[in-house]
Amino acid sequence: MDKGISPILLEVFANRFSFIAEEMGAVLQRTAFSPNIKERRDFSCAIFDAEGNLVAQASHIPVHLGSMELAVKSALSKYGKESFKEGDLVILNDPFRGGTHLPDITAVAPFFYEGELLFFVANRAHHADIGGASAGSMPLSNSIFQEGVIIPPAKLFEGGKLNRELWEFLLNNVRNPSEREGDFSAQISAINVGKKRLKELLELYGTQKVLTYSKALLDYSERLIKSFIKTLPKGEFTFEDYLEDDGFSARDIKIAVKIKVEEEKLIFDFSDSDPQVLGPLNAVYSVTYAGVLYCVRALAGHILKAEIPTNGGISRAIDVIVPEGSVVNAKFPSEVAGGNVETS
């Protein structure tokens, strides 16, 4: 433990950040219109630091672990940290920019305290329809253009003002727009609750202490993951499995991974996996990356018999090698709707 970091306060902050994300999820679930979110609970909520690193994520959807961080960093890459203002809110669903598949729409908002950008608050929810060739936006497709509307990082709110052109464009390209409007509004409400709770946390502990412990939490998770890696036998290990078909052909689709265990690092290499396929079973990089992180975190927690805070520190000891154009890292404009639910 770093000097000056109290183990007791570290646990307090781990739970405070986590509970904020959990409360965001409760608000999102209660206020959503569609059973996809309200009943099936296909959503995730999280808090990120000003650089887009995951600070805390609620216990929601495993495939969103890690992939949401890529989406937040995609928004940061497009707009730049300096361009964000109080009241901004970015949405995106582009699987090739940190998304998973098109129905999963991510909402990201900056959090300012005393005029300084300190955190980002975000959630991701699976919308029951986002356009495309068939209702539900999960068709038997051979191109992402058949799967729905692709939303690059775009500001739905700027300085608190709704971008009505973008809002109308989205609602005019989906089935059941009133339900979509309700679900979007639920995501916005959850964002606002997260910002309110962060403000209360900063008023209680002060900016410096909150930032110090948010960074310490990432370091703590990194140490736990490295401790777990040290318990593993060193060397290279391989595994492969097959998907039965892609909906267009009857051939098996190989997913292969080679895991190299070093002293304090795990390297996952998917280079021997099959090329991307014609059907909608391709996964994008963010899905494969998220799957690896979740498996490592779950196994590490079991082996160490410890609760590992879900944050960006987990990925510091993990490298994921995924060749572009493979079934586990498809290239645009490949179809990817099923990669998020079948291949992952």
- Reference 273, options 294, 287, 263; nearest CA is 287
Is residue 316 within 8 A of residue 261, CB to CB? The reply is: no
Q: Kindly report the backbone phi and psi dihedral angles of residue 318, in degrees, each rounded to the nearest multiple of 5, phi listed first.
A: -130, 130
Q: What is the pLDDT of residues 87-103, one digit of tens each?
A: 999 999 999 999 999 99
Break the chain into its structural domains and give their ranges: 7-219, 222-340
The burial class, CB within 10 Å (0-12 / 13-18 / 19+), for 227 is middle
Given this model, what pLDDT does residue 1 score? 59
pLDDT of residue 341: 84
Half-sphere exposure of 334 (CA within 13 A, CB side): 27
Three-class secondary structure of residue 137 per DSSP? coil
pLDDT of residue 65: 78
Q: What is the CA radius of gyration of the chain?
A: 20
Dihedral pair phi/psi, residue 103, rounded to 5°:
-65, -25
Instruction: Show the low-confidence residues of the chain (pLDDT under 70).
Output: 1
E strand or H helix that includes residue 89: strand 89-92
Q: 164-185 pLDDT, tens per residue? A: 999 999 999 999 999 999 999 9
Cα torsion through 46, 47, 49, 50, rounded to 10: 90
pLDDT, position 51: 98
pTM for the whole thing? 0.95
Strand-pair category, 266-269 with 318-321: parallel
